[in-house]
Chain A
Amino acid sequence: AQKVTQAQTEISVVEKEDVTLDCVYETRDTTYYLFWYKQPPSGELVFLIRRNSFDEQNEISGRYSWNFQKSTSSFNFTITASQVVDSAVYFCALSARPRGGGADGLTFGKGTHLIIQP
């Protein structure tokens, strides 16, 4: 069974602070994929990043960075110099190769509500 845990239900920081959102996953599969999605107040889900289980290289995209550590089954997301527009719910998700080899579903964590105060 797959599981994604986002232990932080809500985080509130003041603008310009750095903030890290934690994600811990469980899977028995050796090939799997990890994702982060952003859900702003408008409700849509916005893709941020995908990482496969064989690529532990950390990634930076502007103010966003991701730290993937297989040893601790974690895929944490850091926003540097946060801005009010970063306020949203952020979901971590996991996908593993399905037994049938077909299109598979993502297992989402419960999300972390990030509030950036001006």
Chain B
Amino acid sequence: EPEVTQTPSHQVTQMGQEVILRCVPISNHLYFYWYRQILGQKVEFLVSFYNNEISEKSEIFDDQFSVERPDGSNFTLKIRSTKLEDSAMYFCASSVLGTVNTGELFFGEGSRLTVL
């Protein structure tokens, strides 16, 4: 069964360092997303991406964050200068159509980021 894969599963970094989280969405999906979940809290929407550009972003997704689809398969989230409060589980998700059309987001298993 096709799945969304994320790497790394866990990354520890020093405050101020740049981090890139990688995702390989399901191959025929067109919409891509990043969500984050601070430990023990709710899942929060960061950004959606369609047709090689950001479709929507939340207020969390400030200038420190960027997304990219550098090739036909990867979808990356970059945090330019990490802060302690960026420590969270980051989930990548993809869907064939946007959630208003098809509804089912397929989530990856997450990348845990720990900022020291």
Contact = CB atoms under 8 A, between A and B. Distances in A.
From B41, B43, B47, name the one whose CB has the most chain A CB atoms within 10 angstroms.
B43
B56 A108 contact: no
A109 B35 CA distance: 13
B91 A45 contact: yes
A102 B103 contact: no
A106 B105 contact: yes
Q: What is the interface of chain B mostly: helix, strand, loop, or mixed?
A: strand
State which size class the interface on B falls in: 20 to 34
B99 A45 contact: no
Contacts of B46: 105
B42 A110 contact: yes
B86 interface: no
A42 B107 CA distance: 13
Given A43-B110, A45-B43, A105-B33, A31 B104 contact: no
A102 B42 contact: no
Nearest to B108: A44
Interface in A7-46: 31, 33, 35, 37, 42-46
A91 interface: yes
Is chain A's interface secondary structure helix, strand, loop, or mixed overall?
Answer: loop
Q: Could you say which interface size class chain A belongs to?
A: 20 to 34
Contact of A102 (B43, B98, B105): B98
Interface string B54-76: 01101000000000000000000
Contacts of B108: 44
Contacts of A115: none
Contacts of A37: 43, 107
Nearest to B99: A95
A31 B101 CA distance: 11
Given A91-B43, A95-B99, A110-B42, A104 B106 contact: no
Contacts of B79: none
B23 to A, nearest CB: 13
A74 interface: no
Interface string A96-118: 11101011111111110000000
